[in-house]
Amino acid sequence: MHHLNHGHLPRRLDPAEAFFWFLDHVSPMNFAVIAEGHGPLDDAAVQAALTRAQQEHPLLRAAISTDAEQHLIWVPAPEAALDYTISAAGNAWQAALAHMLVQPFPLHSAPLVRALRFNLDDGSWVVALVFHHSAGDGRSGCRLLADILASAAQPEQPPQPHPGYPPLHALYPEHYQQTAALHAFKTQRKEELQRYGRFDELPSFSRQAPELQPRIQTLRLNAAQVQRLSERCRAAGATLHGAISAAQLQAVHRAFGAAEPRTLGLTTPADLRPHLREPLDDASPLMCATLVTSVYRLEAEGDFWALARAISGDLKRQIQRGDGHLFYGLFPPPADFPATAEGIAAFSAMMAMAPQVSMVSNVGRLAPLPAATPFTVEALSFALCPMFSHLLFNAVSTFAGRMTLNVNFDAARLPTDQALPLIADLDAILQRAAA
């Protein structure tokens, strides 16, 4: 067993976990992992698989609480059962899930995951896990859901307890724990993000909204389209992520209307697992994501593949130089904020300065289910409601050769009559690139 795989509780929240706990109090940060399938899937077997998963994974039987100084800590909660809710959703599972996605997990509650099943009119089903973002990320969440579905098909399999992991920052390479590296990163990042001046902000988007109206719009590329897009990316010296991001930025640019240059921000959640002192797997839930932001100057009728290539190269360069590791050092340590109204207000004021961006989060190609099942899973994907400074959160995954893009928006901030044409334009640009 990997000698760093120890998830001893109680412990203080890692800076990444604490950052997302506080951010969740600014704007809901829960994420969902989603399986769309058809065929016989017994609810009792799902419930048993959820119970087994709790026996296997430390953070599925834990709560976030506070210590005497009001600092956030993980504490064991071995008796807390994972909630499994079953409902009929017609064919509108996205609307039902979007509503459930933003329901909070109160302090001290456990576990920080909920399970949902939506039965659809055509006999198919959707099973989703909604996570508090401090308790996992898209990659480990998708892996957990795949394991749970496989377990539901093999109820006789005994639990295989996972020892858990140390917190993310405990695994950072030594260089990224030094003050000099952080200082250099802050200087470099400021210069890069300001090189075109202020970010342009879409006028129809409102940072202020009295209530949330989360929406999920799902786009697809079939296996042949994914193959063609991959080939075109290779020929152009770009990645799939770069192409998807380029399509999104071009669609946002066109949403401004007038054909003039715009300065647009793009934020990419990135997985740090391959970039630690000893690489981690995703076999048990853990928050290992970071955020990397870039800025682009888009011209009217700009070259799609040149933009895709630039985005691809920028992300690779930023990850290699440690931007992802050092992101959490941009702020006063959130683990040191008290988990009180005053601490949350201070964190919220700090985040209010964030510029308007759109996000593309791509968990890449997901492995097939680890065992044969009597049912078929057509798609495995994820979703997250964008925060107050994010136009869109585009959650991308590829499963069984097919790509799912769950484009999330908040209709209270970006009205539906503005969001849907923008998303349709994104889809059209991507479809052309994959044709």
Question: From first to last of its 435 residues, what are the pLDDT tens digits of the chain?
Answer: 344 446 789 999 999 999 999 999 999 999 999 999 999 999 999 999 999 999 999 999 999 999 999 999 999 999 999 999 999 999 889 999 999 999 999 999 999 999 999 999 999 999 999 999 999 999 999 999 999 999 999 988 899 999 999 999 999 999 998 899 999 999 999 999 999 999 999 999 999 988 999 999 999 999 999 999 999 999 999 999 999 999 999 999 999 997 899 999 999 999 999 999 998 999 999 999 999 999 999 998 899 999 999 999 999 999 999 999 999 999 888 777 899 999 999 999 999 999 999 999 999 999 999 989 999 999 999 999 999 999 999 999 999 999 999 999 999 999 999 999 999 999 999 999 999
Cβ pair 248, 268 in contact under 8 A: no
Which residues belong to CATH 3.30.559.30 in the chain?
Answer: 173-341+348-365+385-433
Cβ pair 50, 115 in contact under 8 A: yes
Tell me how far apart the alpha carbons of residues 183 and 185 are, in angstroms, rounded to a whole number. Answer: 5
Cβ pair 84, 145 in contact under 8 A: no
Cβ pair 398, 364 in contact under 8 A: yes
Produce one character per residue of 404-434: b if its CB has 16 or more CB atoms within 10 Å, e if not.
bbbbbbbbbbbeeebbbebbebbbebbeebb
Tell me how far apart the alpha carbons of residues 349 and 346 are, in angstroms, rounded to a whole number. Answer: 5
Which residues belong to CATH 3.30.559.10 in the chain?
Answer: 11-152
> Which listed CATH number (3.30.559.10, 2.120.10.30, 3.40.50.11260, 3.40.50.1100) goes with 11-152?
3.30.559.10
Tell me how far apart the alpha carbons of residues 183 and 24 are, in angstroms, rounded to a whole number. Answer: 27
pTM (global) more than 0.95: yes
Which CATH architecture describes the domain 173-341+348-365+385-433? 2-Layer Sandwich (3.30)
Cβ pair 246, 313 in contact under 8 A: no
- Residue 94 burial class via C-beta count within 10 angstroms: exposed 0-12, middle 13-18, buried 19 and up: buried
